Amino acid sequence: MEQRIHNFNAGPAALPLPVLATAQEELLNFKGSGMSVMEISHRSKWFDGILEDAVVRMKRLLGAGDNYQVLFLQGGASTQFAMAPMNLLPDGQAADYVNTGTWAKKAIQEAQILGKKANVPATSQDRNFAYIPKNVSYTPGAAYVHLTSNNTIEGTQYNGFPDTGDAPIVTDMSSDMLCRPVDISKCGLVYAGAQKNLGPAGVCIAVLRKDMLERVPKTIPTMFRYTTHAEKNSLYNTPPCWSIYIVGLVLKWLEETVGGLDKMEAQNRAKAELLYKAIDKTGFYKGTADKEDRSWMNVTFRLGSEDLEKKFVAEAEKAGLGGLKGHRSVGGCRASIYNATGLDAVEALVSFMNDFEKNNG
């Protein structure tokens, strides 16, 4: 096998090597079917097994009881920005949206396009989204509170779900789902595009509390109703079979190889602490997010000039460290250290950072 790089891409992102090896092994003949997963019918016994296993493992890892349903949808998290208010925000009611960055702003815009009332009780825009707002006064009677649990571009992350009173939380967890245990009982809906921490692009996971389905109106198009997909167990139409299969393998890896979310949290904490320590050491590198709100998944930092940043990214790539360029909207550098990015990758990055500073400091 040719040498693989250390992958710090923000998404599509690194996948666990054992998952890729299993997919390679089963590529031409899945479980004796004589077909690839990309060829089998989504109505077959083979895909039934894939889907059921993924659902069971997802609920087990999240600690979600029978009052939650796992849906595999298409259109990415960006489609959920519209589906959530279409389904869960009745006309005449308001929902709260905390604005913590680029993706939160897009969610707010989609609700507004639909003519829904989206209150913004707090924002961190005053300091370029470098922090998570605290002590927020949520709107009494809000239909839900929408949060972006991890801000991929700005490098901030909630330390835990806030107390939103009687309002259920609707949260975009695209970039930190299953990086650590969470209290899902506070959530009416959790959704995540898979291509950052859960699997390949092409599928979006939605974990929905079943009582939320009672809000879904019949006046929205069939494919945009959560009830459509809940009633048919994500099989109303042909689902993204291959993407669901890989997500299932990732969930199996999390449970059986890593050993669950407590152990995954310990690994992620160790990676983040090592990298942030290197950033904070001398001032040559400058973190962009407030220390108390720094993301474990997306580590954002700047160097002294844009030219120096370009040199850093180029030399890192030559050294086998890929994906370190910051998002085009903010510039700088970013290391995405999702679950599948190992401690060895972070150690290699820190070693490179130390050498680069010696040569350019």
Taking each helix axis from N to C terminus, what angle separates 102-113 and 76-88, rounded to the nearest 10 degrees?
40
Q: Are strands 117-119 and 298-302 parallel, antiparallel or unpaired?
A: unpaired
- Number of residues that this document lists for the chain: 361
Contact predicate 102/123, CB 8 Å = no
Task: Answer positive or negative: Cα dihedral of 76, 197, 156, 95.
Answer: positive
The amino acid sitting at 250 is: V
Local structure of 325: helix, strand or coil: strand
| 26 CB burial (10 A radius; 0-12, 13-18, 19+) | middle
Extract the tokens encoding 182: 């969470």
Q: What are phi and psi of 150, to 5 degrees?
A: -140, 130
Contact predicate 234/154, CB 8 Å = no
Active site residue 103: yes
- CA 254 centroid distance within chain: 15
Active site residue 126: no
Active site residue 172: yes
Q: Which residues pair with 30 in a beta bridge?
A: none
User: Is-cis flag, bond preceding 85, omega within 30?
Assistant: no
Extract the tokens encoding 325: 């360029």
Extract the tokens encoding 299: 């580590």
Catalytic residue among 46, 96, 116, 172: 172
Catalytic residue among 46, 103, 242, 253: 103
User: Is-cis flag, bond preceding 12, omega within 30?
Assistant: yes
| 17 CB neighbour count, 10 Å cutoff | 13
Catalytic residue among 196, 242, 293, 325: 196
| 357 CB neighbour count, 10 Å cutoff | 17
| 263 CB neighbour count, 10 Å cutoff | 12
Residues marked as catalytic: 103, 172, 196
